[in-house]
Structure 1
Amino acid sequence: MFGFSVFLNDEIDEDYLQSMLAAGFSGIFTSIHIPEEDVSHYKQRLAQLGTFARNHHLELMVDISRDALGKLGASSQHVGPLVDLGISGLRIDYGIDWQDVAEISHQLKVALNASTLQQSDIDALKSFQADFTSIEAWHNYYPRPETGVDSDYLLARNQWLKANHLPVTAFVAGDNDKRGPLYKGLPTLEVHRDLLPLAGALALIQDYCCDHVYIGDPGLSASSRDQFVTYIDENSISLSAQSLVAGHTDWLDHIQKPHSNRLDPARDVVRSQEARLRPLVKPIVALNTIERPIGAITIDNEGYQRYQGEVQIVKRALAADDKVNVVGQVKFSHLPLINQIGPGQKFEIRMEAFN
């Protein structure tokens, strides 16, 4: 499941909510640390956000402290005011003890701090008869550069959490309207700080055992939303590329049809299962048979005989081959997505014309 973040220090942007809903996102995360002088504004915005979530069947998870809980007229024994606001779950912050967490788990979904949770904490929750069907583990996001989580740590941590039957959520940075005051992204993993959002999200799911991924920043670009739409609706990874050959529109049409990686994936390239089986308008002559860098998009020419027409995306740099035409190059920011095209994964290539 994919979700996005909304912060209550600003007015709620209904257009953005609608755009993320239309893109297929199914969860909203927000944080409530209410300053004394602004309680009414926060309550109003939270109510607006909760109404939207409830009306559109979105999950609304709220990062909350005991202090903020009280300001909203709720307690661990009485979460009715939160339910009335449209809140479906709480990410537990400081000041709430395990007995209170256990009580809340019987009324709302509970998200525990995935990075700091210990076996003794799980044992305490069991002793207080917490409802573990309502408990998840959520990682933090890290606004300051160089403070995001280490990749090896995250994988080991998530494997432990999964062994304890806890679903895991983590964050990727947005690529538009990043949150201040640093404006450096809100990822869980430091290595993902400047990564394309979909690439980071798929890596968290496929490589780091995460179940859910949220956009940490309050903004996602239209192009990234389009990528999520394609993945959510069609289970297909969309790559943007630049054409390297003029003319030959028949080649480009051949390349821009839907593809899926072979079920027996190659080490060096992503191989389209479909391309070689599609009829060609005419034989593919040898052209631009140059070295193949990572991200090169190639089509086998007539020199490869029965392989003619096969479309590949290069995963590791390869030498030139006079039987392979290099016809395009995946854009730099989209290169990490190539690693997420596993066996049988559908993908599409959106090629910009040669100029």
Structure 2
Amino acid sequence: MLGVSIYVKKVSLQENIAAIKLAKKNKIPMLFFPTRHLPDFINNPELLQLISYGQEQNFEIGLEISKHAFDYQQLQKLNPTSIWLDNSFSVYEIVNIIDTFPGKIQILASDNDLNDVIEIFKLRSSKRIRAWYNCYPKPYTGMEQPEFLTRTLILQKYGINLTIFLSAISETTQAETECFPTIEDFRYLPLYLQLQWFKYFGINNFIVANKKINHQEIALLTKVGALAPTEFLFKISSLGFSDQTKTLLLNKTFFVDWTSNQYLVRLVESSNFSKNNDKIMTWNNRNLIGNHAALLVDNYLYGRYRGEIYFTKRKINIAEKTNYLANCTNFQVLIDLLKPPSKIMFIAEN
């Protein structure tokens, strides 16, 4: 499932309505409303208008809830599909809410004590109860990958359905998000790469936390969301890849070869490699060292290996038989996951 965040008072009403229409066009089923910045959100006319509009369009409505703002009777009037409880609630209070609120309930699994989260699911096992990982409002406070994986594997053993928030910033769009990614290392990682990493580890529910997102980004996230966990998609930047490289990669399907190892991720194209790429000449191949996450191709000098394309996982020396294609450092987080029989596709930059 994919959802988008709707920021009341942080984004204009017209922009929020446009975002909802964009989500509808791309068949996204969920609208998430952060409320921590709204002191009396229950009575906020703009929030009420947007929730009503979303419900008219048959969206699921999720509301972020803090303890100080929890009012059961008022929530009944809003009739959200789900409420997302922050870490201000005690175990007893959460159990009481589960017993009274009829909708879906999301428990914060990243900030609450892990044993408390598990205890809640043991006390009130239900498909209505789910867990979410926070996206952090303060920089440099996100989770480390090992911490995330350890916590996630434990929760998955209990059959707990998890939701992740996708958020990314750049030097030009720092004002476009209210938060930072669940995993600290992903702060500048494009959303579609984040989504694929999380899918690999069994996460299938995502909320886009960025304030603004365009049609191309939503369409790409939707496309990536439909892939299997062992299928990977890489977007080729118009600036970082030459025309020669694009010709070699685009409109083809590659598989990770079983001979890949700690140095190389060897790619086998679905059609016959040697026939397609047998005239690759030499370029960018003298006195070079291929860094971690470089993309290389063997040229005609390599005989039967000509046309083979591969990612590097460590620094290696490049001889005259191998051409340097591109620096793929931005893909490194996924390259480290590639194992046979992973399927890989490259698409052009929009």
Q: Is the 8 A contact 2:280 2:306 kept in 1?
A: yes
- Structure 2 counterpart of 1:146: 140
- Structure 1 counterpart of 2:189: 195
Is residue 308 of structure 2 the alignment partner of residue 310 of structure 1? yes
Q: Is the 8 A contact 2:168 2:187 kept in 1?
A: no
Count of paired positions:
330
Per-residue deviation, 1:135: 0.9
Other structure's SS at 2:301 match: helix
Distance 1:51 1:98, change over 3 A: same
Distance 1:146 1:4, change over 3 A: same
Per-residue deviation, 1:175: 4.2
Of the three residues 321, 324, 335, the one matched with 1:323 is 321
Structure 2 gaps of 5+ residues are: none
Aligned-residue CA RMSD in angstroms? 3.4
Residue identity matched to 1:159 = L
Other structure's SS at 1:261 match: strand
Per-residue deviation, 1:91: 1.0
Q: Is the 8 A contact 1:297 1:329 kept in 2?
A: yes
Q: Is the 8 A contact 2:6 2:211 kept in 1?
A: yes
Q: Is the 8 A contact 1:64 1:92 kept in 2?
A: yes
Of the three residues 39, 42, 63, the one matched with 1:35 is 39
Q: Does 110-119 or 14-23 show the bigger shift?
A: 14-23
Q: Percent of aligned positions with the same letter in both sequences?
A: 18
**Residue pairs, 1:159-238, within 5 angstroms:** 159-175=153-169, 185-207=179-201, 210-220=203-213, 224-225=217-218, 227-233=220-226, 235-238=231-234
Q: Is the 8 A contact 1:239 1:334 kept in 2?
A: no
Of the three residues 329, 334, 338, the one matched with 2:335 is 338
Take 2:270 and 2:298, find their aligned partners in 1: how far apart are those partners?
A: 10
- Structure 2 counterpart of 1:301: 299
- Structure 1 counterpart of 2:63: 62
Q: Is the 8 A contact 1:275 1:311 kept in 2?
A: no
Deviations 1:6-65 (A, max 9, x none): 12223252333344455564433222354349622221222223333x1xxx43322124
Take 1:126 and 1:329, find their aligned partners in 2: how far apart are those partners?
A: 48
Take 1:307 and 1:22, find their aligned partners in 2: how far apart are those partners?
A: 46
Q: Is the 8 A contact 2:197 2:333 kept in 1?
A: no
Take 1:347 and 1:184, find their aligned partners in 2: how far apart are those partners?
A: 33
Distance 1:20 1:311, change over 3 A: farther
Is residue 280 of structure 2 the alignment partner of residue 284 of structure 1? yes
Q: Is the 8 A contact 1:262 1:343 kept in 2?
A: yes
Q: Is the 8 A contact 2:5 2:208 kept in 1?
A: yes
Other structure's SS at 2:160 match: coil
Take 2:25 and 2:51, find their aligned partners in 1: how far apart are those partners?
A: 21
Residue identity matched to 1:319 = N
Of the three residues 102, 110, 115, the one matched with 2:105 is 110
Take 2:241 and 2:179, find their aligned partners in 1: how far apart are those partners?
A: 33
Other structure's SS at 1:13 match: helix
Take 2:175 and 2:212, find their aligned partners in 1: how far apart are those partners?
A: 8
Distance 1:91 1:17, change over 3 A: same
Take 1:89 and 1:244, find their aligned partners in 2: how far apart are those partners?
A: 44
TM-score of the two chains, using structure 2 as the length reference: 0.78
Residue identity matched to 1:286 = T
Take 2:157 and 2:249, find their aligned partners in 1: how far apart are those partners?
A: 43
Other structure's SS at 1:273 match: strand
**Residue pairs, 1:83-94, within 5 angstroms:** 83=79, 87-93=80-86, 94=88
Q: Does 228-237 or 135-144 show the bigger shift?
A: 228-237
Per-residue deviation, 1:236: 4.2
Residue identity matched to 2:250 = Q
Other structure's SS at 1:186 match: coil
Residue identity matched to 1:27 = M
Take 1:213 and 1:21, find their aligned partners in 2: how far apart are those partners?
A: 16
Q: Is the 8 A contact 1:169 1:214 kept in 2?
A: yes
Per-residue deviation, 1:111: 0.5
